[in-house]
């Protein structure tokens, strides 16, 4: 019985999301009816599950594991577990989502993208329920991915705005970094030591919950409609990392090094972000950092072993920040009123330690540090992206040589492999990984020609799969083949999608905005990009798992880099998609005589929107 | 001029910099802090040119649209919202040649007009040259990330907890200089060597050096600077506006465009050096043939598509104007000129009052309704009993010299509960964002927040997150209306008015409305305001004639003053006799909630109580009907809703946190009628007209008309044109959708945390608006009407350049003339509207879109009865 209601609470929102996304219902009322009904049903199912579980009086309830996929020693097992922590978090998820959905029903009225918004929110709700109830790390990783993609889509909800898309990509890049930890932890779950799993989980949690050094993405993610910001960055998404740590606390409870690290990361984050929050001149920026500050403290509480306190804090903070974000448009009226009753506008500042006890230069230093957000964004960029971009710029002109090198390495792998030692295999595999990295860096630099960029991502993925094969030919044969096959299919899909809008040899501007005019091609390319990224509902998801599973017993370091490559390629695929399809439809022709720029498709589409609205008004006459 | 620059050859640019920056301020948006949102013409800078030319120039400068898309007009044409005669008329005006006219008509109707798009100076001018070396990312996309937080941090009016050190004492450049000098950590992007070196210089020299290094050719400096400002119109406009009028800021900041220019140029130098290395060539060297792009002072060469679109626009407007003018011509003959009513009700000229007046008149013959600018002629600053700052309660161009204080009587003040600590912990308390207090508060308030969230989503009521707005009137408090002495406050304001000053103002209002004789028993003054929650644009919903605040204090003050014996004596001395026994009552109408709050009822004479009570009962019915009419615009409310339920629905709407459209305030506004009520009484104008009372028979020389126009036209045209431009280009002229908006420094809104301040109106306010210029119709002879318009240069500029249309109805012959191309043109053969509805409620059941002008038979017949 509990099994069924648990399945309903996870599956129903996702099914509804799929339905809404695929069936073009133009009537707002019907969309919102479906959304309200499925949200409510999911919440009721969760409530029923919790009630039944309480009545049963067991410490935890687990559904019987169900192997969705098995090959050799590898199994992808779907199981859901309900225990005290999960029950509390599940109620939180359902409450906040329910409220936000209800809130948005009127808030989003008449907004272009009404259906898209709710489809994404439902996807998020399903993903969040799955994440809460996940019975093992594999299921959790799948949910983790779904939540990440939903997050990306909602930050980039106003896809015609460059800064929204840019920040969505920034968030997604951090999520992908976190995924490396999560992916490896999931693969090591059965075999690995608690120490390494602990650190990998910490990496995952740090990215998702915007802890040091990734604090900078939360305020920047406040680009979507206010309720979605409340749901994700005040409420649930940003607490997912802390929840992961709570849920897996038993795994790393006894490893002192991990506990120290969790505590240290949390403390540093809390101290830094409370400073960053103080200098933010925008209300959402301030609330975003305030939320992260509290998540940092929750990390400390968990590290100290105060699980109950941590969980209470988590719930309270999620509720509090969601509400604050939802009422953030009241800030002008509220602060004006406060100043009006309190007298001079800056009294509260005047009483602070910062204003009273610090010297001018100390204050300036602190202010500069906080205003630049501890230089963390620039630091991460310099470490993660600048070298890759440099590599890409250097490598792209030698693209042909890279392809030839890759082909040689591939042929060498096929022909030599039965004869080389394990060490030789590792060397070949590493060479292939280097080729893959070169391909990825080319993909980073080749965004102006999206078809080519997808080609590079595909090449990189195939090289990675081959690398795994080179390292463990016996086990990874099937894995590499299937992964290469599925990635190939995804890449083909993405290439077709982009080729439909950008003919070969043509270049695009940054954020070319083709989704406005070519929705089918956009859907096609998005599906392909998600396939490359190993989105859980697509077959490549299993392929990635298989690869890592095969290589982990041989070399942990190799697997780490392999996981990194997979995560990077997923990001690059989504980035190429976003650069091509998101943004405003670019201006293409320039009339020299009058000095104005004309674009037919743009005018036509803008007109079509206006026409639709007008037609609706006319019908009412 | 500094000595150092003087030692070398003084740069011509440096000598002229002040003048240059002053000119630039002209092209930037003039939107002040959002707490005093005041509607104004978005393209005010182009107002001195003919309308279509100004719009074309604006589109080229800002990279905006110049009209709605062709498909919009084509659709309107196919559905009869652009009429055939209107199209013919517009074509004839634009194409004198028959052949050209025919081919233009074909192109329009075949949909062969492309929608012109302009890159704008910021994206399409000199700065384009940086795109290529920077890998396709425009320079400003890099620099703004740093600049906005610096400028935002400096100007912040109270959102951030730590202020930029020295912000309250120093100018922007000095403050940033200080920050960089004092800080032991770098301030990005001023960490590059070249930028760091310039930080030591005073603003002018640093600016010049940065321009030399970045641009490198003196004749390009001015265009480059303007284009740089236009990459961030929101912040530049805010700085320029605050420089012009620093008192708008609650926390004083001494900002100037010069400082802003310096900060931007030095920061961009830093960015360039970071990206391209320290030896990058200046713009003039890498692009010797660089073209400055469109010069805003120059006359734009309009393409054929633009001309055709303006033909569409003209015909769209004329399709509305013609039936309206036809209706006014006929209606004046249908209704009697004047009748004695026992009650007079004065409303604001606001288009939202238009329907309230109609609903009153449909219910009763006993009320004469009038419209006058909602500050009722009383210009003052007002400070409510709970406020510590005073707000302006008169139209934006006026500068009030008086301050009115509201004071709680001593026993009331004692009864007021003190603000308790837990009340201050409302949910946007800044301390909730810090480390320890945030920790504590998130525990303390987190679960309470859940409760609040649930109640505010499931059952909206006024309690959660509702914050009392400033400048409200406390019905139990006293007004300090009459001045005791001539002492001035620190701001140079006089505390209250003398009876003579009040009498002057009251007389001018009553005379201009023609209401200085045939007195009723009771005069009611309706100030207006609009209550909304969770809405940063709250000021835009309030009374425009009170600078975005409610008209409540003005209505109350007017009534109080007019009831005073000393004021009446002073009025008598001015030849205006208010008979004994007449009583004035002030109140405020909440246009969102359709609710009236009455003031000083206990002082109403016993004899009039019964009449007032009947009036109030009637008002309740009228407002419910009004709510029902308003509801037809809200798609979430069923069409044809019962008045009682409509009232519930609009009141719920006003307190719902999740409602981005508490009301549609001025959307669909299209006309302004200055004349007697007989012109418009019994006409269904669909809440699209500003109605200003004016009696031409009392004003043969047009002096009163001149006063009326100079108060009404700038306000109404400002509203109309702001809606116009925000509608045709919500992305550039407007603030686009308000759903993702983020409050920045209490100054304005932005998208996310790294965007420019957004100017104009959000789409949620303008989406149902039909963009058309205001048609101002005055009831007066053409000669007098022209003379009156000429008496105010601002009004005349709008009229002559056709930013508003100007028409007059002859008070006796009913001949209608329109002002076109510098002369009056008599309009003949205007067809009266064909629609007649039994009542406004029946009209409101017709649909959600704009309804044609029509007659309401109930009101018309009743007034007809009285005429006989």
DSSP A492-521: HHHHHHHHHHS-TT----SS--GGGT-HHH
pLDDT given for residue B431 in this prediction: 60
Nearest chain A Cα distance for residue B387, angstroms: 5
pLDDT given for residue B423 in this prediction: 47
Tell me how far apart the alpha carbons of residues B854 and B833 are, in angstroms, rounded to a whole number: 6
**Contact in structure between A41 and A8 (CB atoms under 8 Å):** yes
Query: Would you call B740 and A109 a contact, using CB atoms and an 8 Å cutoff?
Result: no
Q: Is the pLDDT of residue B651 over 60?
A: yes
Nearest chain B Cα distance for residue A50, angstroms: 20
Token readout for A172 is 């997604």
User: Averaged over B570-596, what is the pLDDT?
Assistant: 94
**Contact in structure between B134 and B334 (CB atoms under 8 Å):** no
Tell me how far apart the alpha carbons of residues B497 and B381 are, in angstroms, rounded to a whole number: 12
Query: Would you call B117 and A603 a contact, using CB atoms and an 8 Å cutoff?
Result: yes
pLDDT classification of B339: cutoffs 50, 70, 90: low
- What is the per-residue pLDDT across B164-183, written as a single tens digit (0 to 9) for each? 998 989 999 999 999 999 99
pLDDT given for residue A600 in this prediction: 35
Interhelix angle A84-107/A240-247, nearest 10 degrees: 160
pLDDT given for residue A349 in this prediction: 56
Query: Exposed e or buried b for every residue in A389-424, given b needs 16+ CB within 10 A?
Result: eebbeebbeebeebbebbeebbeebeeeeeebeeee
- Give the list of residues 6+ apart from residue B794 with CB closer than 8 angstroms, or none: B397, B710, B714
Tally A–B CB contacts below 8 A: 385
Higher per-residue confidence, B32 vs B292: B32
Query: Exposed e or buried b for every residue in B2-24, given b needs 16+ CB within 10 A?
Result: eeebeeeeebebbeebeebbeeb
**Contact in structure between B535 and B662 (CB atoms under 8 Å):** yes
User: Averaged over B357-362, what is the pLDDT?
Assistant: 94
Query: Would you call B124 and A106 a contact, using CB atoms and an 8 Å cutoff?
Result: no
What percentage of chain B reaches a pLDDT higher than 70?
92
Residue of A163, A318, A333 to mutate for B, most B C-beta atoms under 10 A? A333
pLDDT given for residue B316 in this prediction: 96
By CB atoms closer than 10 A (0-12, 13-18, 19+), residue A320 is: buried
- Residue B658's SS3 state is coil
Q: Is the pLDDT of residue B230 over 90?
A: yes
Query: Would you call A326 and B657 a contact, using CB atoms and an 8 Å cutoff?
Result: yes
- What is the per-residue pLDDT across B446-498, written as a single tens digit (0 to 9) for each? 888 888 888 888 887 765 445 566 667 777 778 888 988 888 888 889 999 99
Q: Which residues does chain A have with pLDDT short of 50?
A: 344-347, 586-621
Query: Would you call B136 and A270 a contact, using CB atoms and an 8 Å cutoff?
Result: no
| List of chain B residues whose C-beta atoms are within 8 Å of the C-beta of residue A171 | none
pLDDT given for residue A542 in this prediction: 84
Give the C-alpha distances (Å, rounded to integers) separating B343 from A365, B360, B430, B583, B690.
68, 11, 50, 10, 22
| List of chain B residues whose C-beta atoms are within 8 Å of the C-beta of residue A370 | 162
Chain CA centroid to CA A475, Å: 31
| List of chain B residues whose C-beta atoms are within 8 Å of the C-beta of residue A597 | 117-119, 124
Query: Would you call B386 and A341 a contact, using CB atoms and an 8 Å cutoff?
Result: yes
pLDDT given for residue A611 in this prediction: 30
Q: Which of residues 705-734 of B touch A (CB under 8 A)?
A: none
**Contact in structure between B91 and B37 (CB atoms under 8 Å):** no
ipTM: 0.92
pLDDT given for residue A564 in this prediction: 94
Residue B678: CB atoms within 10 A of its CB come to: 18
pLDDT given for residue A606 in this prediction: 35
| List of chain B residues whose C-beta atoms are within 8 Å of the C-beta of residue A313 | 439, 442-443
Q: Please tell me which of the candidates A220, A340, A606 has its beta carbon nearest to residue B753.
A: A220
| List of chain B residues whose C-beta atoms are within 8 Å of the C-beta of residue A107 | 658-660, 739
pLDDT given for residue A592 in this prediction: 34
H/E stretch holding B725 reads helix B703-728
Query: Would you call A327 and B428 a contact, using CB atoms and an 8 Å cutoff?
Result: yes
Q: Is the pLDDT of residue B824 over 90?
A: yes
Q: Is the pLDDT of residue B724 over 50?
A: yes
Query: Would you call B432 and A322 a contact, using CB atoms and an 8 Å cutoff?
Result: no
Cβ–Cβ contact B768 with A under 8 A: yes
DSSP line for A412-481: HHHHHGGGS-HHHHHHHHHHHHHHHHHHHHHHHHTTTSHHHHHHHHHHHHHHHHHHHHHH-HHHHHHHHH
| List of chain B residues whose C-beta atoms are within 8 Å of the C-beta of residue A510 | 136-137
Q: What is the CA radius of gyration of chain B?
A: 29
| List of chain A residues whose C-beta atoms are within 8 Å of the C-beta of residue B741 | 226, 329
Token readout for B401 is 């010299």
Q: Please tell me which of the candidates B185, B453, B740 has its beta carbon nearest to residue A323.
A: B453
Tell me how far apart the alpha carbons of residues A177 and A564 are, in angstroms, rounded to a whole number: 8
Query: Would you call B658 and A106 a contact, using CB atoms and an 8 Å cutoff?
Result: yes
Q: Which of residues 803-832 of B touch A (CB under 8 A)?
A: none
Angle B222-B223-B226 from CA coordinates, rounded to 5°: 85
Token readout for B813 is 């012959």
Q: What's the mean pLDDT when you consider all of chain B?
A: 88
Phi, psi of B647 (to 5 degrees): -60, -45
Q: Which of residues 460-489 of B touch A (CB under 8 A)?
A: 464-465, 467-470
Q: Please tell me which of the candidates B71, B183, B847 has its beta carbon nearest to residue A365.
A: B183
- Token pair 């997604």 is found at A172
pLDDT given for residue B290 in this prediction: 59
Q: Is the pLDDT of residue B646 over 80?
A: yes
Query: Would you call A334 and B158 a contact, using CB atoms and an 8 Å cutoff?
Result: no
Query: Would you call B156 and A319 a contact, using CB atoms and an 8 Å cutoff?
Result: no
Nearest chain A Cα distance for residue B176, angstroms: 10
Q: Please tell me which of the candidates B69, B293, B452 has its beta carbon nearest to residue A606.
A: B69
Q: Please tell me which of the candidates B124, B181, B740 has its beta carbon nearest to residue A158.
A: B740
| List of chain B residues whose C-beta atoms are within 8 Å of the C-beta of residue A33 | none
Q: Which of residues 95-114 of B touch A (CB under 8 A)?
A: 114
User: Averaged over B712-729, what is the pLDDT?
Assistant: 95
pLDDT given for residue A1 in this prediction: 79
pLDDT given for residue A594 in this prediction: 36
Nearest chain B Cα distance for residue A110, angstroms: 9
| List of chain A residues whose C-beta atoms are within 8 Å of the C-beta of residue B408 | none
Query: Would you call A293 and B427 a contact, using CB atoms and an 8 Å cutoff?
Result: no
Give the chain B residue whose CA is nearest to the CA of A224.
B740
Query: Would you call B743 and A107 a contact, using CB atoms and an 8 Å cutoff?
Result: no
Q: Please tell me which of the candidates A287, A340, A363 has its beta carbon nearest to residue B386.
A: A340
Query: Would you call B153 and A281 a contact, using CB atoms and an 8 Å cutoff?
Result: yes
Q: Where are the alpha helices (DSSP H) in B389-518?
A: 410-415, 421-424, 436-458, 499-512
Query: Would you call A163 and B754 a contact, using CB atoms and an 8 Å cutoff?
Result: yes
**Contact in structure between B594 and B624 (CB atoms under 8 Å):** yes
Query: Would you call A352 and B188 a contact, using CB atoms and an 8 Å cutoff?
Result: no
pLDDT given for residue B336 in this prediction: 56
Tell me how far apart the alpha carbons of residues B282 and B217 are, in angstroms, rounded to a whole number: 9
Q: Is the pLDDT of residue B861 over 90?
A: no
- What is the per-residue pLDDT across B478-490, written as a single tens digit (0 to 9) for each? 888 898 888 888 8
Query: Would you call B457 and A369 a contact, using CB atoms and an 8 Å cutoff?
Result: no
Tell me how far apart the alpha carbons of residues A171 and A169 are, in angstroms, rounded to a whole number: 5
pTM of the model: 0.93
Q: Please tell me which of the candidates B165, B745, B754 has its beta carbon nearest to residue A363.
A: B165
Give the chain A residue whose CA is nearest to the CA of B118.
A596
Give the chain A residue whose CA is nearest to the CA of B727.
A610
pLDDT given for residue A544 in this prediction: 85
């Amino acid at each position: 019985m509990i099994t069924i209601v648990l399945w309903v609470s996870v599956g129903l929102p996702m099914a509804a999301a799929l339905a809404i996304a695929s069936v073009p219902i133009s009537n707002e009322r019907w969309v919102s009816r479906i959304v309200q009904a499925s949200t409510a049903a999911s919440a009721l199912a969760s409530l029923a599950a919790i009630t039944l579980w309480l009545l049963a009086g067991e410490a935890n309830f687990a559904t019987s594991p169900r192997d969705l996929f098995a090959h050799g020693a590898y199994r992808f097992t779907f199981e859901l577990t309900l225990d005290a922590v999960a029950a509390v978090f599940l109620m939180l998820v359902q409450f906040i989502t329910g409220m936000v959905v209800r809130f948005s029903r009127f808030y989003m009225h008449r907004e272009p993208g009404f259906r898209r918004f709710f489809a994404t929110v439902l996807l998020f709700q399903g993903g969040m329920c799955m994440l809460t109830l996940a019975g093992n790390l594999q299921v959790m990783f799948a949910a983790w991915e779904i939540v990440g993609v939903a997050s990306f889509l909602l930050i980039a909800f106003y896809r015609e705005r460059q800064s929204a898309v840019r920040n969505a990509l920034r968030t997604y890049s951090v999520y992908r970094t976190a995924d490396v930890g999560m992916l490896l932890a999931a693969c090591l779950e059965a075999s690995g030591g608690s120490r390494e799993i602990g650190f990998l989980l910490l990496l995952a949690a740090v990215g998702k919950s915007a802890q040091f050094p990734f604090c900078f993405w939360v305020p920047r993610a406040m680009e979507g409609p206010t309720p979605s910001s409340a749901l994700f960055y005040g409420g649930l998404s940003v607490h997912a990392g802390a929840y992961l740590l709570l849920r897996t606390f038993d795994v790393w409870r006894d490893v002192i090094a991990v506990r120290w690290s969790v505590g240290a990361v949390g403390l540093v984050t809390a101290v830094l972000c409370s400073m960053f929050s103080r200098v933010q001149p925008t209300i959402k920026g301030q609330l975003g950092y305030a939320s992260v500050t509290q998540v940092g403290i929750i990390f400390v509480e968990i590290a100290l072993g105060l699980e109950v306190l941590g969980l209470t804090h988590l719930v309270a903070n999620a509720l509090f920040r969601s509400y604050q974000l939802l009422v953030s448009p009241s800030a002008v009226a509220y602060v004006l009123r406060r100043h009006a009753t309190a007298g001079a506008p800056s009294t509260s500042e005047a009483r602070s330690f910062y204003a009273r006890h610090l010297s001018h230069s100390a204050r300036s230093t602190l202010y500069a540090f906080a205003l630049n957000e501890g230089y963390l964004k620039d630091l991460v960029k310099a470490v993660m992206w600048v070298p890759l971009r440099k590599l890409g710029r250097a490598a792209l002109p030698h693209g042909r040589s890279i392809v030839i090198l890759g082909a040689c390495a591939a042929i060498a792998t096929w022909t030599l492999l039965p004869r080389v030692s394990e060490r030789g295999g590792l060397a070949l595999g590493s060479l292939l990984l280097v080729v893959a990295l070169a391909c990825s860096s080319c993909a980073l630099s080749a965004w102006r020609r999206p078809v080519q960029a997808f080609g590079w991502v595909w090449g990189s993925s195939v090289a990675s799969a081959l690398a795994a094969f080179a390292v463990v030919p016996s086990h990874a044969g099937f894995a590499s083949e299937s992964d290469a096959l599925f990635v190939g299919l995804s890449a083909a899909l993405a290439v077709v999608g982009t080729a439909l809008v950008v003919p070969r040899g043509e270049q695009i501007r940054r954020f070319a905005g083709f989704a406005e005019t070519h929705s089918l091609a956009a859907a096609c390319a998005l599906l392909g990009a998600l396939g490359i990224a190993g989105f859980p509902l697509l077959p490549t998801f299993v392929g990635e798992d298989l690869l890592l599973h095969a290589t982990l017993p041989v070399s942990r370091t190799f697997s780490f880099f392999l996981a990194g490559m997979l995560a990077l390629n997923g990001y690059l695929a989504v980035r190429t998609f976003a650069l091509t399809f998101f943004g405003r439809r670019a201006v293409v022709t320039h009339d020299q005589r009058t000095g104005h720029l004309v674009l037919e498709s743009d005018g036509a589409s803008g007109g079509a929107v206006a026409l639709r609205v007008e037609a609706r008004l006319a019908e009412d006459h | 001029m500094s000595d150092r620059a003087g030692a070398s050859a003084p740069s011509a640019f440096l000598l002229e910099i002040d003048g240059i920056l002053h000119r630039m301020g002209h092209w930037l948006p003039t939107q002040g802090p959002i707490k005093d949102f005041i509607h104004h013409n978005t393209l005010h800078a182009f107002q001195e040119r003919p309308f279509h030319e100004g719009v074309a120039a604006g589109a080229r400068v800002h990279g905006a649209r110049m009209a709605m898309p062709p498909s919009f007009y084509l659709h309107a044409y196919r559905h009869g919202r652009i009429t055939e005669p209107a199209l013919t008329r517009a074509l004839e005006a634009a194409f004198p040649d028959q052949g050209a006219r025919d081919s233009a008509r074909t192109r329009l109707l075949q949909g062969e007009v492309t929608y012109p798009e302009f890159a704008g100076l910021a994206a399409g001018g000199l700065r384009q040259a940086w795109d290529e070396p920077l890998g396709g990312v425009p320079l400003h996309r890099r620099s703004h990330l740093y600049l906005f937080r610096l400028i935002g941090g400096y100007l912040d009016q109270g959102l951030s907890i730590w202020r930029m050190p020295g912000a309250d004492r120093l100018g922007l450049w000095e403050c940033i200089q200080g920050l960089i000098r004092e800080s032991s950590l770098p301030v990005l992007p001023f960490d590059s060597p070249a930028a760091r070196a310039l930080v030591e210089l005073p603003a002018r020299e640093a600016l010049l050096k940065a321009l030399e290094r970045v641009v490198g050719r003196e004749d390009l400096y001015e265009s480059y600077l303007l284009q740089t400002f236009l990459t961030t119109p929101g912040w530049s406009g805010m700085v320029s506006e605050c420089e012009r009028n620093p008192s708008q800021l609650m926390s004083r900041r001494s900002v100037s465009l010069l400082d802003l220019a310096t900060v931007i140029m030095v920061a961009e130098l830093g960015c360039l050096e970071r990206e391209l290395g320290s030896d990058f060539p200046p713009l003039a060297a890498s692009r010797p043939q660089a073209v400055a792009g469109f010069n805003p002072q120059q006359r734009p060469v309009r393409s054929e598509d633009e001309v055709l679109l303006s033909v569409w626009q003209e015909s769209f407007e004329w399709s509305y104007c013609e039936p309206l003018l036809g209706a006014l011509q006929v209606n004046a003959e249908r209704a009697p000129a004047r009748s004695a009513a026992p009650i007079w009700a004065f409303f604001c000229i606001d288009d939202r009052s238009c329907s309230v007046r109609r609903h009153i008149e449909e219910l009763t013959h006993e009320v004469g309704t009038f419209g006058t600018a909602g500050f009722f002629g009383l210009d003052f600053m007002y400070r409510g009993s709970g406020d510590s700052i005073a707000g302006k309660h008169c139209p934006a161009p006026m500068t009030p010299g008086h301050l009115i204080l509201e004071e709680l009587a001593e026993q009331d003040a004692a009864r007021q509960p003190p603000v308790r600590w837990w009340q201050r912990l409302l949910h946007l308390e800044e301390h909730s964002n810090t480390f320890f207090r945030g920790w504590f508060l998130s525990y303390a308030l987190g679960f309470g927040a859940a409760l609040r969230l649930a109640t505010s989503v499931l059952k909206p009521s006024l309690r959660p997150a509702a914050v009392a707005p400033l400048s409200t009137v406390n019905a139990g408090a006293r007004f300090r209306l009459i001045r005791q002495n001539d002492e001035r406050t620190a701001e140079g304001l006089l505390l209250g008015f003398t009876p003579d000053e009040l009498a002057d103002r009251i007389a001018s209002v009553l005379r201009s409305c023609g209401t200085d004789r045939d007195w009723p028993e009771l005069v009611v003054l309706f100030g207006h305001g609009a209550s909304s929650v969770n809405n940063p644009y709250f000021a835009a919903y309030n009374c425009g004639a009170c600078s975005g605040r409610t008209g409540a204090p003005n209505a109350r003050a007017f009534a109080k003053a007019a009831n005073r014996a000393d004021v009446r004596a002073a009025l008598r001395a001015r030849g205006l006799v208010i008979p004994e026994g007449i009583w004035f009552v002030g109140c405020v109408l909440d246009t969102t909630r359709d609710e009236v709050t009455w003031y000083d009822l206990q002082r109403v004479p016993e004899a009039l109580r019964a009449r007032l009570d009947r009036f109030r009962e009637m008002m309740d019915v009228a407002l419910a009907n009004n709510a029902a009419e308003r509801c037809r615009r809200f798609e979430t409310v069923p069409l044809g809703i019962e008045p009682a339920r409509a009232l519930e629905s609009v009141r719920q709407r006003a307190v719902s946190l999740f409602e981005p459209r508490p009301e549609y305030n001025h959307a669909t506004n299209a006309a302004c009628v200055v004349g007697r009520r007989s012109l418009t009484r019994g006409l269904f104008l669909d809440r699209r007209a500003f109605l200003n009372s004016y009696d031409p028979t009392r004003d043969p020389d047009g002096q009163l008309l001149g006063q009326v126009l100079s108060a009404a036209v700038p306000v109404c045209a400002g509203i109309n044109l702001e809606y116009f431009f925000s509608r045709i280009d919500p992305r550039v002229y407007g603030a686009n959708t308000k759903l993702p908006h983020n409050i920045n420094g209490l100054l304005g809104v932005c998208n996310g945390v790294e965007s420019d301040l957004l100017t104009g109106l959000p789409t949620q306010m303008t989406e149902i608006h039909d963009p058309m210029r205001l048609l101002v119709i005055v009831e007066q002879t053409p000669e007098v009407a022209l003379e009156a318009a000429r008496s105010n240069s601002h009004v005349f500029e709008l009229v002559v350049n056709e930013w508003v249309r100007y028409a007059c109805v002859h008070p006796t012959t009913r001949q209608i003339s329109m002002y076109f191309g510098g002369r009056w043109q008599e309009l003949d053969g205007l067809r009266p509207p064909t629609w007649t509805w039994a009542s406004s409620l029946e009209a409101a059941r017709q649909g959600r879109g704009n309804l044609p002008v029509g007659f309401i038979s109930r009101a018309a017949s009743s007034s007809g009865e009285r005429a006989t």
